[in-house]
């Protein structure tokens, strides 16, 4: 990674002056974010990081004094060409040509590993990480929360896998409970085998709604449902086989939808798996003296003297959501022994996970420290024109039909071969970018108008930028080696801004990997797209790579033969175009890498 080389070199110098081991300094040196204001330096070192103990004891002017003193002691060298000071920072400007060359070289050499093959990650121990996400409830609505869980969990899994961890993706289906009693009892009246085959999720949901209504009016149906569920819990063959059928056809359809989203799972688990193991959890709680009974016979556990108790057992002895989660956690730990176990759900479930982790602690499972709940906020107003969102496809279909309409009315739309695939990728990018822009725990108001804007900070804009850069490669061809490029031709402010931005990629990935917030990567990619658009406008390219290279070679030899400087005007142009092509190619590569981490498949045409 390009930035590492510079960080190390700056750290070595600082280390001599400060007499601090250079490893301790590296993490306080970061690439300066590109901003509209004129930028001073490519890297900055935060001086407060080396002031003794906590820097709270230092006033601003103290820090500034130390900063100036430190800067005076540092010298320029072959890498650092300029040293200046900012607010509490010493700023370093790297030799321009070395900067451009190193960044481009690393982007080309590292390919999809650019930013990841960085010392920020190579020092991290490789871990086993379990990510549980999506987890819809069969026969119930797939609400917006499930969509968020799906794309956020997928991102967390992608990122962790990319940086070298071993990741297992689990879908913990809501595949147990009274809804199956109702479905089982009511399918004979309201169900159709045919519809179940062609449209399982939709059909089960419809049947569920109908039986639910009927059971409210008819005590008999209610009793039948209860009977069915009781038999199911007792694992009676006929009931289990119908339940299994419902579950199987549902998963089949889920898999198809997840495919459209580019999401897959290593394991389809579910609440149903833990029916029996729950009894063991209850026994354990009882044995250790934590299980108390209310007068009605409900099983409860007190986490503190004053707090409310958690219910872990119904009066009829059956388990609850919480009990099943306890059993599932214990089972997963036994099976996978992960270093981290992540649960992705909306924030209304935060108390549930807190209780669950606390009970695990009571039971003496110290590994509860390795469990982590990643909560996210609510989305308001995600509706389709037909009405409320009931299934995941509704959102995806609506996104696609809106993209399609916009494209039909736009003059710039290009003919593409597999339009449908492209449309889906654009629609999904729009949803993902909108969702990942803010802090995950924040609520946000959804607006189709906003997510589908082709300019501005949207997924459509990012896809558009990628497609534009890709078509540039199609027209001009691609450069295969940076060593052929003369980087003196990439010193325009627009080119330098892009290079400086590419320099920061590893730090941005690192930040997201630490707090599991995709927003750092999203804003990075949006800036990259804006910088690319500005550069594309100011730095045009004319000609194709083979033709340019050929012409350049010919010019060089002709000029050399004639004893003239090869840097003629024409030659200058040729070299410049080649260098620009190389820069845009690097930008597209990093843009595509980042998009894939977020769960977006880049489109090549739109």
* Active-site entry in 27, 128, 140, 277: 140
**Residue 7 neighbours by CB under 8 Å, 6+ apart:** 26, 29, 43, 119
Please report how close the Cβ of residue 343 comes to ligand ARG at its closest, in angstroms: 5
Query: DSSP readout, 510-548?
Result: HHHHHH--THHHHHHHHHHHHHHHHHHHHS---S-HHHH
373 belongs to the catalytic site = no
Q: Which is nearer to ligand ARG, 327 or 587 (CB)?
A: 327
Burial of 230 from C-beta contacts in 10 A (0-12 / 13-18 / 19+): middle
Please report how close the Cβ of residue 353 comes to ligand ARG at its closest, in angstroms: 8
Strands 267-270 and 166-173: parallel
* Active-site entry in 101, 106, 141, 143: 143
Out of 135, 158, 434, 486, the only residue in the binding site for ligand ARG (CB under 6 A) is 135
Rule CB under 6 A: say whether 172 interacts with ligand ARG: yes
Residues between 325 and 364 that touch ligand ARG (CB under 6 A):
325, 343, 345
Rule CB under 6 A: say whether 507 interacts with ligand ARG: no
Is 459 within 8 Å of 451 (Cβ atoms)? yes
Using the rule CB under 6 A, give the single segment among 130-138, 361-369, 380-388, 546-554 that binds ligand ARG.
130-138
Residues between 73 and 102 that touch ligand ARG (CB under 6 A):
none
Out of 115, 174, 184, 594, the only residue in the binding site for ligand ARG (CB under 6 A) is 174
The span from the first CA to the last CA of the chain, in angstroms, equals 32
Distance, in Å, from the CA atom of 144 to the CA atom of 457, rounded to the nearest integer, reads: 22
Burial of 60 from C-beta contacts in 10 A (0-12 / 13-18 / 19+): exposed
Distance of CA 41 to the CA centre of its chain: 30
Q: Among residues 12, 34, 32, which one has the least CA distance to residue 23? A: 12
Q: Which is nearer to ligand ARG, 115 or 153 (CB)?
A: 153
Rule CB under 6 A: say whether 137 interacts with ligand ARG: yes
Please report how close the Cβ of residue 170 comes to ligand ARG at its closest, in angstroms: 9
Helical packing angle, 178-190 and 200-217, nearest 10°:
90
What track of x and - describes contact with ligand ARG for positions 285 through 324 (by CB under 6 A)?
Answer: ----------------------------------------
143 belongs to the catalytic site = yes
Distance, in Å, from the CA atom of 601 to the CA atom of 606, rounded to the nearest integer, reads: 13
Q: Which is nearer to ligand ARG, 160 or 272 (CB)?
A: 272
Q: Which is nearer to ligand ARG, 181 or 459 (CB)?
A: 181
Q: Which is nearer to ligand ARG, 200 or 459 (CB)?
A: 200
Distance, in Å, from the CA atom of 597 to the CA atom of 152, rounded to the nearest integer, reads: 11
Out of 95, 110, 132, 435, the only residue in the binding site for ligand ARG (CB under 6 A) is 132
Is 89 within 8 Å of 46 (Cβ atoms)? yes
Query: Measured between alpha carbons, how far is residue 441 from residues 151, 210, 302, 374, 428 in Å?
Result: 14, 35, 28, 9, 21
Please report how close the Cβ of residue 350 comes to ligand ARG at its closest, in angstroms: 12
Q: Which is nearer to ligand ARG, 86 or 377 (CB)?
A: 377
Q: Which is nearer to ligand ARG, 118 or 137 (CB)?
A: 137
Q: Which is nearer to ligand ARG, 171 or 487 (CB)?
A: 171
Please report how close the Cβ of residue 138 comes to ligand ARG at its closest, in angstroms: 9
Give the chain's length: 606
140 belongs to the catalytic site = yes
Residue 343 backbone zone (phi > 0: left; psi -120 to 50: alpha; other: beta): beta
Please report how close the Cβ of residue 12 comes to ligand ARG at its closest, in angstroms: 48
Please report how close the Cβ of residue 189 comes to ligand ARG at its closest, in angstroms: 27
* Active-site entry in 101, 146, 520, 536: 146
Please report how close the Cβ of residue 344 comes to ligand ARG at its closest, in angstroms: 8
Computed over its alpha carbons, how large is the radius of gyration of the chain? 29
Active site residues: 140, 143, 146
Give contact residues for ligand ARG (rule: CB under 6 A): 132, 135, 137, 172, 174, 325, 343, 345
């Amino acid at each position: 990674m390009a930035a590492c080389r510079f960080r190390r070199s700056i750290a070595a110098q600082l280390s001599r002056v400060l007499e601090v081991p250079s490893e301790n300094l590296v993490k306080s040196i970061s690439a300066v974010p590109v901003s509209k204001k004129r930028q001073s330096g490519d890297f900055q070192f935060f001086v407060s990081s080396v002031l003794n103990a906590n820097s709270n004891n230092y006033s601003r002017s103290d820090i500034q004094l130390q900063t100036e003193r430190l800067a005076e002691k540092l010298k320029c060298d072959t890498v650092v060409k300029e040293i200046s000071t900012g607010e509490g920072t010493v700023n370093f400007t790297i030799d321009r040509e070395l900067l451009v060359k190193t960044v481009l070289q690393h982007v080309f050499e590292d390919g999809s590993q650019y930013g990841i093959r960085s010392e920020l990650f190579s020092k991290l121990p490789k871990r086993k990480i379990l990510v549980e996400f999506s987890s819809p409830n069969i026969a119930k609505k797939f609400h917006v929360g499930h969509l968020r869980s799906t794309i956020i969990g997928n991102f967390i899994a992608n990122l962790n896998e990319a940086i070298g961890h071993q990741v297992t993706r689990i879908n913990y289906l809501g595949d147990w409970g009274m809804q199956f009693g109702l479905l089982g009892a009511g399918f004979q009246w309201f169900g159709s085998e045919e519809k179940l085959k062609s449209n399982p999720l939709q059909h089960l949901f419809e049947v569920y709604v109908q039986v639910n209504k009927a059971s409210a009016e008819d005590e008999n149906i209610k009793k039948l449902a209860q009977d069915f569920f009781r038999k199911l819990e007792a694992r009676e063959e006929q009931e289990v086989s119908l339940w299994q059928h419902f579950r199987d056809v549902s998963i089949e359809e889920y898999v198809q939808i997840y495919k459209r989203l580019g999401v897959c799972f290593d394991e389809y688990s579910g609440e149903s798996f833990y029916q029996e193991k729950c009894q063991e959890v209850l026994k354990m709680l009882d044995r250790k003296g934590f299980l108390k009974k209310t007068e009605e016979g409900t099983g409860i556990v007190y986490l503190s003297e004053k707090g409310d108790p958690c219910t872990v057992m119904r009066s009829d002895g059956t388990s609850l959501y919480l009990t099943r989660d306890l059993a599932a956690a214990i089972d997963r730990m036994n099976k996978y022994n992960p270093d981290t176990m992540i649960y992705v759900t909306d924030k209304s479930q935060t108390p549930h996970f807190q209780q669950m982790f606390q009970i695990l602690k009571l039971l003496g499972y110290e590994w509860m420290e390795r469990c982590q709940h990643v909560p996210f906020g609510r989305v308001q107003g995600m509706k389709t024109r037909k009405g409320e969102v009931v299934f995941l496809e509704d959102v995806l279909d609506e996104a696609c039909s809106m993209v399609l309409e916009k494209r039909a009315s736009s003059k710039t739309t290009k003919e593409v071969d597999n339009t449908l695939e492209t449309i889906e990728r654009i629609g999904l990018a729009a949803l993902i970018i909108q969702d990942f822009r803010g802090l995950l725990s924040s609520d946000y108001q959804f607006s189709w108008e906003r997510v589908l804007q082709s300019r501005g900070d949207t997924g459509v804009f990012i896809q558009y930028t990628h497609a534009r850069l890709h078509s540039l490669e199609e027209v001009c061809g691609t450069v295969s080696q940076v060593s052929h490029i003369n980087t003196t031709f990439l010193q325009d402010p627009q080119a330098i801004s892009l290079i400086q931005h590419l320099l920061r990629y590893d730090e941005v990935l690192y930040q997201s990997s630490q707090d599991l917030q995709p927003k750092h990567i999203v804003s990075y990619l949006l800036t990259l797209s804006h910088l690319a658009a500005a550069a594309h406008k100011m730095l045009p390219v004319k000609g194709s790579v083979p033709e340019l290279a050929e012409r350049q070679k010919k010019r060089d030899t002709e000029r050399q033969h004639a004893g003239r400087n090869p840097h003629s005007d024409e030659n200058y142009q040729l070299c410049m175009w080649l260098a620009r092509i190389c820069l845009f190619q690097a930008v597209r590569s990093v843009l595509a890498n980042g998009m894939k981490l977020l769960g977006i498949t880049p489109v090549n045409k739109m």
